[in-house]
Amino acid sequence: MDQNPDEPSKQRLLRALMDVQRRRLRGAGTPPRGLTPPPPIEMAKTQADEKEKEVPKEKPKATTPPPATTPERSHPATLSKKTITQTSSRRKSSATPKKVPKKKVPIKREVLAEGDTVQSEAFTWRVIKLLGSGGFGDVYKVAKHNDPDKTESAMKTEMVLGDRRLLRLKIEVMVLMKCHEQTDPNHKQHFVAFVDRGKTAKFKFLVMGLVGKSLEDIRRDILGHNYSRSTVIQCSLQTLAAVQDLHGLGYLHRDIKPQNYAVGLGEKQNTVYMLDFGIARKFTVGDTKEVKIARAKVSFLGTVRFASRACHKCLEQGRKDDLESWIFMVFELFDDAHGLPWKRAPRNKVVPLKEKFFKNQIPRCYKVVPADFKRIVTYIDEMRYADEPDYVYITNSLNAIAKENKIDLRRKLDWIGVVPKPVKKRRQKEEVSSDNRQSGSESD
């Protein structure tokens, strides 16, 4: 058999390849020497497996993923309503909560019915009807129960809450009692009679003389138009006399306005009475005529439209401030629509307009009054806190104005003999400011 000449060379090549493979296996931590090495194909697979362990496999990307398994991207525009609500609520909870102002809870009180009785130390009072209501009390027409004296009176009540702010009725009782201690009847003719006082478990009460409608109600509900010049001058003289008499007792009213003056009934319908002393204050020291030292700062008290400039500036009020309010009232009695330019002005415009008023810089409001009223306005403007007003000068000026303008002061007052027209009930917001918190006590 002939030998292939190329056979030795093939064997040598095979041995060389096997030697190279063995050296590789030794360097890679292959089995110890003497073991039969795996064939080259199997070794290639083992190395590939080790590489797969070192590098994690990536999932094959699908060329066209099925729609059912494709996850939707979260985007604000595609969030569900529930998700949006939850997100917004989380944002709100993380933000600083805003302070919500507390609502004023109205104080409930029982209103007395017709026929109810109220007992004082001296009398039993029977309620005839409700006349009006305020923030903390009511006013009733009453009469003595089972008594031959059928005289009707007014009972003013004030809730008992144990709070110092509810001292208005106490101040009013003090002032009325002081008024009627006067020996001169001329000095108490513009104050209603003090009749009785008392206290129940729910309210305090004051019984006083019954009067008619206020100057504001008469013009609005009975006349339906402005007063005549004669009636305004007559009312000015009577209301000024009431201010003078109150000051003579050492008290300031601090809320002069048409609503706090009312006319008498029957034979007294020519008389104008001063009402509502709830925020009055004693301005003298004890029983002397010495004026108290003015405090540096005082809370606002009164009604914005008629309050004095010092009142707006939270300064101590004196007798001149009652006269400022009085002159504002007189101008409005002349003309309800044009007498006071600040009547419907914003709060921050009121004081500048009042300053212009005293400087005679608002001509239109002076057109509604006789020309000589300017001298009364100037006189009041020049007064200072502790000054005592010259009431005689103002009274003489009013009489002179009437004479110069041929105004007959003997003419009957506009409401005499006028039959009241039926008026529709309307809810009127009382024009007051922060004085509802105040008591009119020594600290106010």
Beta strand pairing status for 138-144 and 117-119? unpaired
Identify whether the C-beta of residue 439 lies closer than 8 Å to the C-beta of residue 166. yes
Q: In what order do the strands lie in the sheet with 117-119?
A: 117-119, 124-133, 138-144, 152-159, 203-209, 194-199
Identify whether the C-beta of residue 223 lies closer than 8 Å to the C-beta of residue 414. yes
What is the amino acid identity at position 349? K
Strand partners, 126: 117, 143
How far apart are the two ends of the chain, measured CA to CA in Å?
145
Identify whether the C-beta of residue 259 lies closer than 8 Å to the C-beta of residue 228. no
What is the amino acid identity at position 296? A
- Phi/psi of residue 411, each to 5°? -65, 145
Distances (CA, A) of 438 to 168, 229, 285, 298, 330: 8, 36, 21, 11, 26
Identify whether the C-beta of residue 314 lies closer than 8 Å to the C-beta of residue 382. no
Catalytic site includes residue 255: yes
Distances (CA, A) of 62 to 65, 67, 136: 6, 12, 82
Active-site choice (196, 255, 321, 435): 255
Distance CA 264, CA 69 (A): 94
Q: Both tokens of residue 407?
A: 């105004």
Per the annotation, where are the binding residues for ATP?
Answer: 156
Cα pseudo-dihedral 242, 243, 247, 253, rounded to 10: 110
Distance CA 175, CA 56 (A): 101
Per the annotation, where are the binding residues?
Answer: 156
Contacts of 434 (CB under 8 A, 6+ apart): 299, 300
Contacts of 31 (CB under 8 A, 6+ apart): 25, 37
Active site residues: 255
